[in-house]
Amino acid sequence: YISYNDDTDIPEHLYKILVQCANILSKAVHSGWKVLFMIKLSDSTARTARFLKFILPLLKAGRFFPYYIKKYDHCAGNGKDVIIPGIGAISCLASGPDPENACAFFFKNRTALDALTRCFNEWLCLYSEPLFKYFPPGESPDFSRRLTETEDNIGDRFLFKYGFSTLTLSENLFERLLKKDNPTRSEFAAASEFHKKRLNAFLTYMQNYKYKDIYLTDSLKDLIMHKQFRYYGCAGAKLMDMRTQDIIEHLKNIIRLLETYDNYDIAFISGNNKRMKEKYDFYCMVKERQAVIFEILKAPGTSGWRLSIEEPTLVKAAFNVFDEAWKQIAPVNKDKREIISWLQSQINILESCR
């Protein structure tokens, strides 16, 4: 159990300690420990963005459960506690805004640990709500429904994933790939319906709101050199073989979208080493003032963990993180004319090899 129940931020010179804490928690959740984390969010977008970056690596294990104090103006005290039942607890009390002036108390007494655990659980039940909604692998229809609802809302949107979104596929090409996923008749009907709704929302709102997709360059290499498309379906992400003609059709459709919609842009970032690929093994969509949708992938062919964030402070922080990331992408890797020219050159190569 971990609580961070005040509005103070962590000074820059203490960030190394924060990184160490994140590494320790990462080892804990990946070793099977369950972590409950309760935080009081503030109106500081920068602080919330740092919190988001702190917890991102912890989500992959599916055993990290953050909560937030649901009354934003509620005085939650100034305590920062770490409680490990049966082992020990540290309770920190700050006497001012500078965390270096805080004092801490270490407890090993069983009675004290039980009291602190009860107090934490009371706060959890009475004053907090889950920061995320998890969608286990068996709840694919619920996740698809949430994804569709998020897409079908006003606001600018950022998308990050390894390879092209299925929304960049023509409807016929999407259905051909869907059949390769070997769905049941009901799964095929549901996936087709969700795709049509998402595609309609995508094309409708893109007329008035900015849509920016970020992909890894390796995904285009997979498509051109290996004739493989990373498809996100009922069973998670998998590489699917595509015919040369289908790849050409797909790339032409992406160019058509870029040329038709002024608000639509695509950027490519490098993923030329194993560590970077492991870092980016997730799907993320941020819809302004609506929600953040995550899919944390595991082994190929497995769905991993899916979740959505609707808490407004965290949604705004996530949007700002992506906005800053977009600004740091080299112009040549996001300029619309450059991207269209590059995709057209790949089409020319494919057509010459037929």
Give 301-330 pLDDT, tens digit per residue. Answer: 455 678 899 999 999 999 999 999 999 999
Q: What is the pLDDT of residues 199-246, one digit of tens each?
A: 999 999 999 999 999 999 999 999 999 999 988 766 667 789 999 999
**Per-residue confidence (pLDDT) for residue 48, from 0 to 100:** 86
Q: Which of 10-14, 152-156, 298-302 has the lowest mean pLDDT?
A: 298-302
29-40 per-position pLDDT tens digit? 989 999 999 998
Residue 12: band (very low, low, confident or very high) from pLDDT cuts 50, 70, 90: low
Q: Residue 205 corresponds to which tokens in the numbers above? A: 């709102």
**Of 52-61, 107-116, 177-186, which gets the smallest average pLDDT?**
52-61
* 127 or 14, higher pLDDT: 127
pLDDT confidence of residue 223: 94
What are the backbone angles phi and psi of residue 13, rounded to the nearest 5°?
Answer: -70, -5
Higher pLDDT, 281 or 160: 160
Check: CB of residue 219 under 8 Å from CB of residue 164: yes
Task: Give the N- to C-terminal CA distance of the chain in Å, as an integer.
Answer: 60
| CB-based contact 153:290 (threshold 8 Å) | yes
Query: Taking 90 as the threshold, does the pLDDT of residue 347 lie above it?
Result: yes
Q: Is the pLDDT of residue 271 over 80?
A: no
> Worst-scoring range by mean pLDDT, 82-96, 206-220, 325-339?
82-96
Which range among 19-23, 201-205, 257-261, 287-291 shows the weakest confidence by mean pLDDT? Answer: 19-23
Helix axes 217-225 and 336-352, enclosed angle (nearest 10): 20
Position with higher pLDDT, 78 vs 123: 123
Residue 275 pLDDT > 50: no
Cα 275 from Cα 82, distance rounded (Å):
31
Taking the C-alpha atoms of residue 165 and residue 161, their distance in angstroms, rounded to an integer, is 8
Q: Residue 281's pLDDT is what?
A: 65
Of the pLDDT bands very low, low, confident and very high (cuts 50, 70, 90), residue 197 is: very high
Torsion over CA: 74, 80, 84, 89 (sign):
negative
Q: Taking the mean position of all CA atoms in its chain, how far away is CA 331? A: 24
The span from the CA of 297 to the CA of 238, in Å, is 10
Are the C-beta atoms of 251 and 322 separated by less than 8 Å? Answer: no
Share of the chain above pLDDT 70, in %: 86
CB 344 within 8 A of CB 253: no
Q: What is the mean pLDDT of the chain?
A: 87
Determine how many CB atoms are found less than 10 A away from the CB of residue 77.
14
Q: What is the pLDDT of residue 276?
A: 42
pLDDT in tens, 38-61: 998 887 888 888 888 888 878 777
233-251 burial, b for 16+ CB within 10 Å, e for fewer?
bbbbbbebebeeebbbbbb
Stretch 156-160: mean pLDDT, rounded? 97
- pLDDT for 5 equals 79
